[in-house]
């Protein structure tokens, strides 16, 4: 890798993507930022430059492969060979499955799943001939465990998981120097809860424990540096949920049916004027820059023990810490 690596981040205008772009900028990387909204892109590009990196903002809808491929070609021409590609871009609908229209479900799938496929294809077109490069898929606990009110998003994350595993096996069979890895995220304090299309009666919220976007960015950078591991699990909720789903999926189904709808909504009514970024960016001509953080700074943790444990003591230690944290949370809820 060069002294100033070239990094592509999709969904870079807000949330995790914005934090990831900023973190790579702090490493003095050349960062290509892909997203639809011009205002968020401009602010993200300034963030990268302020941190010491070089930025190239590109207005791209990842649901359109031709746009992604053209953007990747421009990155190579203007910044140099792509070293790392991070897929983050997504959209979703907060609603019961019966309240989601077919065209909305298709759109979520095209952005949140096929967007990752398109990004990976474009990256591999440049990386494979050089036999060098890393692709990081930003996943979620929901890649393994579906929850109510997020059927479209859960379907996309499950799909990414399967597609990425298949690709990883193919690259290993080819003895390729290109690496792919996936980072499974917990609940993160991002603007998605204010700009995702919602048909919920109350304001959407992440299910605690909640982490700041910088925690997610730290995990992505670590995964990019150590891509030989197939995936990284971030946060007590992620590891605990995955283990619970593996050990007692029926019990978890019952628990989520009982608690999952209420826990994803605050007590406040859903704003009547809340933007929806499904078809158009929320930071478009009539919108504003949303930044990396959402509305839950007072409840979001700035670090995670599980990521530290996975770095220093492996998955078993991370799982042990997660189980302890999960058990403590269950005990507190039982006592409440």
Active site residue 153: yes
Handedness of CA 65, 71, 73, 76 (dihedral sign): negative
Query: How far is Cα 82 from Cα 257, in angstroms, rounded to an integer?
Result: 44
CA angle 98, 102, 105 (to 5 degrees): 85
8 A C-beta contact, residue 304 and residue 236:
yes
Measured distance CA(96)–CA(294) in Å, rounded: 23
CA distance 189 to 306: 18
Pairwise CA distance, residues 306 & 304, whole Å: 5
Is 123 in contact with 85 (CB distance < 8 Å)? yes
Termini Cα distance of the chain: 52
Considering the candidates 113, 144, 153, 211, report the single residue annotated as catalytic.
153
Residue 298's CB is within 10 A of a number of other CB atoms, namely 7
* Residues 6+ positions from 43 with CB-CB distance below 8 Å: 13, 289, 291
**What is the spatial distance between Cα 142 and Cα 21, in angstroms, rounded to a whole number?**
23
Catalogue the active-site residues: 153
């Amino acid at each position: 890798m060069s002294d100033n690596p070239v990094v592509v981040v999709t969904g870079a205008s807000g949330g995790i993507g914005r934090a990831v772009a900023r973190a790579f900028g702090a490493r003095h990387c050349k960062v290509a930022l892909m997203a639809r909204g011009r205002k968020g892109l401009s602010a993200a590009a300034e963030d990268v430059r302020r941190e010491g990196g070089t930025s190239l903002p590109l207005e791209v809808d990842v649901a359109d492969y031709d746009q992604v491929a053209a953007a990747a070609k421009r990155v190579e021409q203007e910044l140099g060979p792509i070293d790392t590609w991070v897929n983050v871009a997504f959209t979703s609908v907060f609603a019961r499955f019966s309240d989601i229209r077919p065209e909305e479900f298709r759109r979520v799938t095209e952005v949140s799943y096929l967007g990752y496929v398109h990004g990976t294809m474009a990256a591999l077109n440049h990386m494979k001939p050089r036999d060098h490069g890393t692709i990081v898929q930003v996943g979620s606990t929901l890649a393994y465990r579906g929850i109510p009110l997020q059927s479209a998003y859960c379907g996309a994350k499950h799909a990414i998981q399967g597609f990425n595993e298949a690709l990883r096996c193919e690259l290993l069979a080819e003895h390729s120097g290109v690496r792919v890895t996936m980072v499974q995220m917990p609940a993160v304090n991002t603007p998605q809860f204010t700009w995702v299309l919602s048909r919920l009666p109350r304001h959407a919220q992440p299910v605690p424990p909640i982490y700041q976007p910088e925690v997610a960015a730290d995990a992505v950078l670590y995964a990019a540096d150590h891509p030989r591991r197939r995936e990284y699990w971030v946060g007590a909720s992620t590891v605990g949920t995955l283990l619970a789903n593996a050990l007692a999926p029926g019990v978890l189904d019952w628990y989520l049916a009982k608690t999952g709808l209420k826990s994803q909504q605050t007590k406040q009514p859903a704003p009547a004027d809340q933007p929806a970024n499904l078809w158009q960016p929320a930071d478009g001509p009539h919108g504003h820059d949303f930044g990396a953080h959402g509305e839950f700074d007072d409840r979001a943790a700035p670090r995670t023990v599980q990521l530290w444990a996975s770095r220093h003591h492996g998955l078993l230690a991370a799982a042990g810490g997660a189980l302890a944290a999960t058990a403590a949370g269950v005990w507190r809820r039982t006592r409440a």
